[in-house]
Amino acid sequence: MDQLRIGLTMRVVEAVEYAEKRDALAQDWPGFMHQVLPEYKWMPMPNLGSGIASYVQSWNLSGFIITGGNNLFECPERDETELALISYALANDIPIFGVCRGFQIMAHYFGFKIQPCSNHAATTHEVIINGDKHMVNSYHDNCGPVEMQPPLMAFARDLEGRIEGFRHVQEPLMAIMWHPERECQATDLNIKMIRKFFGLL
């Protein structure tokens, strides 16, 4: 089996005491990738806008994770990069997994609206997956829609019925609203879900 090379998108941050923006990846991610996908190489991807396709090709990347951080539309360079990445992934049958903001930008790409919500930042709550309840973390101020139509299909909802996880009905695209990388030890739910998505189960 060829080794998958996974690219992780980065948030945009303002550098303290410097008048410049910087791309950044939360330090939780290296440990998480080692726990969950130790067989695969990974690397961060800069916010290059539409130029991300050439970057992906030059590094021979064959899988993507859109990470969390930044609300939609507050960092145009990140929005443009990730929308271009989704288009590239769909056109080339490349698996792409979204986390929190990743969920939101993917939903937006397919025309679904993200709504502001309260009591979801820095807390935990239950989601229902295949009839079973699972406790997940929550670090977002926006919530998913309550309905989705093809090509997207919901597989996880919170107790109020809002969608917390969806997948594409044909393409290798999937997203969740919680942060699997922010657990001290990756949970069985997240390990199995992500390894299965990237073809390891």
Cα(14)–Cα(22) distance, rounded to whole angstroms? 6
Cα(179)–Cα(166) distance, rounded to whole angstroms? 15
Question: Are 68 and 101 within 8 A, CB to CB?
Answer: yes
Side chain identity, residue 134: H
DSSP per-residue codes, 66-91: E---S-TTS-HHHHHHHHHHHHHHHH
Cis ω for the linkage preceding 151 (within 30 of 0) = yes
What pLDDT, on a 0 to 100 scale, did the predictor assign at position 17? 83
**Which three-class secondary structure state does DSSP give residue 58?**
helix
Question: In the 8-state DSSP scheme, what is residue 44?
Answer: E
What pLDDT, on a 0 to 100 scale, did the predictor assign at position 2? 62
Helices within the chain (DSSP H only): 28-36, 52-58, 76-92, 101-109, 188-197
What pLDDT, on a 0 to 100 scale, did the predictor assign at position 137? 94
Question: In the 8-state DSSP scheme, what is residue 119?
Answer: S
Residues of the chain with pLDDT under 70: 1-2
Residue labelled with tokens 């726990």? 35
Determine how β-strand 115-116 pairs with β-strand 121-129. unpaired
What pLDDT, on a 0 to 100 scale, did the predictor assign at position 1? 44
